[in-house]
Amino acid sequence: MDMTALDFTIQHVPDVDLHGGKRYNSINHIRNAPALLPTAGGVSQRSERPMTTHIVISPVDSDNLKRCSKCGELKPRTEFNKSGKATNGGLSSWCKACISEQARQRKERLRSDYSRRIKPPADADGMRYCLGCNEFRPVETFSKDPRGDNGLSRRCSDCRRKTYEKDAESRRQYSRDYWRSHTNERQAYMQQYRAENADELLERGRAYNRKNADKRRSYRRIYRASHIEEEKARDREYRKRRPEVHRASEATRRAAMKERGGTYTPADIEAIRKAQGNRCYICGKKLAKFHVDHFIPLVLGGTNDPGNLRLACPKCNLHKYTKHPHDMGILI
């Protein structure tokens, strides 16, 4: 018997829907291959003439179920990611669990390959080896990273900063484009977050203000000095919107000046200016613009007499605010 003369043919039933819409309507021929062909009695025997076996593949998918081509299990269609391939009914051929498992295995494999390829020296005496600059650096220069050994990154802050700075502008542009395209989503999220955490956010803000009171006042004064016109316009708008608050503030200041007593004239200011050599009495720079400062602040018992007046540049005067000269390191 010539075994090479066999012609084994598998014919699929036409128009059988498999795997989310994929249809088979073809005849596959396996020629010149010896085969054991089953008979009706269940006993296999060899044949010398071509035979055709019809294999009927029944559909396994339904409207709500789909078979994963990876694990072979029937699962709800919601367990499959969306796909642009129409041949799979708009769903991926692998279920979500199989895709996640493959990603996990790949991550573990890459991590294992990386650890075998690069074995940096161990940490010692507060020093850690940086894979960016290839030298030991203090542990404090490494940022936290739960993926790294000892919970630290393998590259120091300087190396990481250089990496980001290489493409800084494109990163910033990407961030700006992203927030512009997701403005509504971000606003909705922030509104929901503030509503759900209102008390916590309020207490956090109060704690920060108490801890950084001097810093905030100093920053505010410096900002006002460099944005004079903007601040004036804002003050005018505020006085129109809250006139009672403005009147109370001015009344408090006038009462303090009246209680302390004293007065001065433009001639007194000019005399003080000449006595100081037209320089700020705090920083020593020449005065292009100046503020009239109460050397001993009114709130600390100072008077409005010319003897208690000094000329300072706007920045220094705003920084001094109501501090005592001793607190500024200024000798009386």
pLDDT tens, position by position, 48-57:
444 444 433 3
Res. 165: pLDDT tops 70:
yes
Res. 136: pLDDT tops 60:
yes
pLDDT at 279: 92
d(CA 290, CA 313): 5
Contacts of 120 by beta carbon, 8 Å cutoff, 6+ apart = 129, 131, 154
Contacts of 16 by beta carbon, 8 Å cutoff, 6+ apart = 23, 24, 57, 58, 59
Average pLDDT over residues 149-154: 84
pLDDT at 3: 40
Written as six digits, the tokens of 102 are 């493959």
pLDDT tens digit sequence for 272-328: 999 999 999 988 899 888 888 888 888 788 888 888 888 999 888 888 878 888 877
H runs (alpha helix) in 197-324: 198-211, 213-226, 228-241, 243-260, 266-275, 314-320
What are phi and psi for residue 76, nearest 5 degrees?
-60, 150
Nearest of 128, 164, 121 to residue 144 by alpha carbon: 128
Written as six digits, the tokens of 180 are 């512009």
Average pLDDT over residues 263-275: 86
What are phi and psi for residue 80, nearest 5 degrees?
-120, 140
Share of the chain above pLDDT 90, in %: 16
Question: Packing angle between helix 243-260 and helix 228-241, nearest 10 degrees?
Answer: 110
Contacts of 331 by beta carbon, 8 Å cutoff, 6+ apart = 325
Res. 228: pLDDT tops 50:
yes
Query: In order of start, what are the domains of the chain with their CATH numbers?
Result: 3-55 (no CATH), 65-115 (no CATH), 118-166 (no CATH), 170-210 (no CATH), 261-328 (3.40.1800)
pLDDT at 64: 83
pLDDT tens digit sequence for 19-45: 444 444 443 433 334 444 444 444 444
Name the average pLDDT for the chain: 76
Per-residue confidence band for 169, with pLDDT thresholds at 50, 70 and 90: confident
Res. 261: pLDDT tops 50:
yes
**pLDDT: is 207 or 50 the higher one?**
207
Single-letter code of the amino acid located at 225 = A
Task: Give the DSSP letter of residue 329.
Answer: T
Helical (H) or strand (E) element with 45? strand 44-45
Taking a C-beta distance cutoff of 8 angstroms, is the pair 213, 323 a contact?
A: no
